[in-house]
Amino acid sequence: MLRKLIAVLLAAVMVLSLAACTAPATTPSADTKEAEPEKEEEAPADEAEEEAPADEAEDTGDVADYGGITLTFMNSKPEISDEMEAIVKGWADQHNVKIEFYETSNPTDTLTQKYAAGDGPILAVVDSTQIVEMGEEKMLPLDGAEWEGETKLAWYVNGKLYGMPLTVESQCLVVNKKAVEETLGREFDKSQYTTTETFEALLAELREKGMENPIIMMSESWSMCGHLFAQMMNFQDGTAQGCFDFVDYIKDGGDAYDNEMFKNQVKIYQIYSEYNINKADPLAAVYDLNCSYLVDGEAAFMSNGTWGWPDLAAMGADVNDYEIMSHPIDNDLTGRVQASATKFIVIDNTIATPEQQEAAKAFLNYLTMTDEGQKALVENCGIVSAFSNNPYAPADPVNTSLAVDYMATGKTVNTVPFGAPSDFRTTMEPYIQKLVTGLGTDRELADALNDYWRSHEPNGR
Partner 1 sequence: MYMQRKEKMSRKILLFLLFAGPSMTLFVMFVIVPFIYGLYLTMTNWDGFSSTKEFVGLQNYANIFKEKDFWSSIWLTFRYVIASVIFVNGIAFLLAYLLTSGIKGENFLRAGFFTPNLIGGIVLGFIWQFIFNRVMTTLPIFPEQSFLSDPTKAFWAMVIVETWRASGYMLLIYIAGFVGVSPDFIEAARIDGANNRQILWRIRMPLMMQSFTICLFLTLSSAFKVYDMNLSLTAGGPYGSTRMAAMTIFEKAFTYHDYGMGQSEAVVFFLIMLVVAVIQLRVTSKREVAA
| Neighbour-count burial for 29-42, b at 16+ CB within 10 Å, e otherwise | bebbeebbeebeee
DSSP one-letter code for 391: -
Q: How many CB atoms lie within 10 A of CB 191?
A: 12
Of the pair 115, 392, the CB lying nearest partner 1 is at 115
Of the pair 386, 436, the CB lying nearest partner 1 is at 436
Which window, 8-16, 162-170, 260-268, 301-309, contacts partner 1 (CB under 8 A)?
8-16
Closest distance of CB 76 from partner 1, Å: 14
Closest distance of CB 422 from partner 1, Å: 6
Answer yes or no whether residue 455 interacts with partner 1 by CB under 8 A.
no
Answer yes or no whether residue 15 interacts with partner 1 by CB under 8 A.
yes
Of the pair 22, 60, the CB lying nearest partner 1 is at 22
Answer yes or no whether residue 451 interacts with partner 1 by CB under 8 A.
no
Of the pair 229, 235, the CB lying nearest partner 1 is at 229
Q: Residue type at 202? A: L
Which window, 92-100, 163-171, 296-304, 436-444, contacts partner 1 (CB under 8 A)?
436-444
Give me the 120-149 binding string for partner 1, x by CB under 8 A, dash otherwise.
-------------xx--xx-----------
Burial class (CB in 10 A: 0-12, 13-18, 19+), 213: buried
Answer yes or no whether residue 102 interacts with partner 1 by CB under 8 A.
no
Give me the 333-352 binding string for partner 1, x by CB under 8 A, dash otherwise.
-----------------x--
Q: How far apart are CA 179 and CA 52, in angstroms?
A: 56
Q: Which residues pair with 344 in a beta bridge?
A: 126, 165
Q: What is the residue-wise DSSP string for 102-153?
A: EE-S-HHHHHHHHHHTT---SEEEE-HHHHHHHHHHHB---TT-TTGGG-S-
Give me the 60-99 binding string for partner 1, x by CB under 8 A, dash otherwise.
----------------------------------------
Which of 6, 12, 52, 408 binds partner 1 (CB under 8 A)? It is 12
Closest distance of CB 43 from partner 1, Å: 26
Q: How far apart are CA 183 and CA 181, in angstroms?
A: 5
Closest distance of CB 36 from partner 1, Å: 21
Answer yes or no whether residue 14 interacts with partner 1 by CB under 8 A.
yes
State how far the alpha carbon of 14 is from the alpha carbons of 8, 10, 350, in Å: 10, 6, 34
Q: How far apart are CA 126 and CA 60, in angstroms?
A: 31
Answer yes or no whether residue 439 interacts with partner 1 by CB under 8 A.
yes
Give me the 371-410 binding string for partner 1, x by CB under 8 A, dash otherwise.
----------------------------------------
Which of 97, 111, 125, 339 binds partner 1 (CB under 8 A)? It is 111
Compute the CA torsion angle 176, 179, 183, 185 (nearest 10 deg): 90
Which of 167, 338, 422, 459 binds partner 1 (CB under 8 A)? It is 422
Nearest to 330 by CA among 391, 387, 262, 378: 262
Q: What is the residue-wise DSSP string for 273-300?
A: HHTBTTTTSGGG--HHHHHHHHHTTS-S
Handedness of CA 387, 392, 396, 398 (dihedral sign): positive
Which window, 105-113, 162-170, 240-248, 369-377, contacts partner 1 (CB under 8 A)?
105-113
Long-range CB pairs of 27-33, under 8 A, 24+ apart, other chains included: 28/351, 28/352, 28/353, 29/72, 29/118, 29/119, 29/120, 29/122, 29/351, 30/117, 30/119, 31/70, 31/72, 31/100, 31/119, 32/70, 32/72, 32/100
Which of 1, 2, 5, 17 binds partner 1 (CB under 8 A)? It is 17
Answer yes or no whether residue 25 interacts with partner 1 by CB under 8 A.
no
First to last CA, the chain: 76
Q: Which residues bind partner 1 (CB under 8 A)?
A: 7-8, 11-12, 14-15, 17-18, 108-109, 111-113, 115-116, 133-134, 137-138, 221, 280-284, 286, 289, 350, 422-423, 426, 429-430, 433-434, 437, 439-440
